[in-house]
Amino acid sequence: MSEGKSDDPWGFLSELFGFVSPELGKRIISGIAIGVIALAMTAWSVTTFAVLMFVIGAAMTWEWARMVRGAMPDAGMIVQILAVFLAAVLSATDRAGLGVAATGIGAIAVAALAFGAGRAQLSGVGVLYAALPVVALGWLRGDEPLGFHATLFVLVSVIVTDVGAYASGRTIGGPRLWPRVSPNKTWSGLTGGVAAAAVAGALFSWILGTGSPRWLASLGFFLGLIAQGGDLAESALKRHFGIKDSSDLIPGHGGVMDRMDGIVTASIAAAAIAFAIDAYAPARALLYGS
């Protein structure tokens, strides 16, 4: 290596922009790369989206099993990955109900396999955590012609909530939301995050010409709130096991669970709302509220 040349592969961002640290550089590059790939696979077809969801679900399975039960792989992890695979395939082929059934059976089986280790309940919950979002988003994505828009709305709501919460929390500060679980989260961050999601919901309808602006604004607010709950739940789980990140799979971001925590809860809530409104046209139900 030549004299004066950094051995940090992300260091060029610091040199290029001056104010960008190598750690932030990792976050920027990996975030953009993952976002582009995820958007392309979501937009391309129901099948490519199912593949994307299976990969994400399998990664979360590994992280959850490693966190809860330790050394991997084990029989429970294999069963859980099978449940995630069935959830992806069945939801992509318009059999989401069977996908939910496969998830439930998988949760019972994994809990039974972990019973002797004393982690049966958390092991079973891990199947629900990884597979139910696969069914929920796959079901919405498969409802053409509005499936892509409905799925994109859920993802945008969560992403905007995270960005809004970070920006308002850092700018305004103030009282901590739940310091024992997540010391960095503030009430101002929560307020700013859900407000940003509400604004994004109205803009989503206006920009894409789909959905009801008033409905999507209120739905964005609600999904943002649910997403923040999912974030706190994952923080509580990590604190229980004394770890900072679920893994180091994503440079600068931690693990897949660390990025998916809000999407897990928001996607399940969105699917439940769509099911309650019109189970035969879930994408339209989610976008229009009718």
Domain boundaries, the chain: 44-142, 145-290
| The pLDDT of residue 258 | 81
Give the pLDDT confidence of 116-174 residue by residue, as tens digits. 666 778 888 999 999 999 999 999 999 999 999 999 999 999 999 988 888 888 888 77
Cα distances (angstroms) measured from residue 4 to each of 1, 8, 15, 16, 32: 9, 12, 13, 16, 29
**pLDDT at residue 206, rounded to an integer:** 92
- In this prediction, residue 164 carries a pLDDT of 86
Q: What is the pLDDT of residue 1?
A: 41
Note whether 189 and 232 are within 8 A (CB): no
Half-sphere exposure of 255 (CA within 13 A, CB side): 21
Residue 103 vs residues 143, 243, 264: alpha-carbon distances, Å: 21, 27, 14
What is the chain's Cα-based Rg?
A: 20
Distance CA 120, CA 129 (A): 14
175 burial level (CB within 10 Å; 0-12, 13-18, 19+): exposed
- 151, containing H or E segment: helix 147-172
Q: Are the beta carbons of 251 and 32 closer than 8 angstroms?
A: no
**Which residue's structure tokens are 């305004």?**
172
Under-70 pLDDT residues of the chain: 1-28, 30-31, 71, 116-118, 245, 247-254
CB atoms within 10 A of CB 152: 18
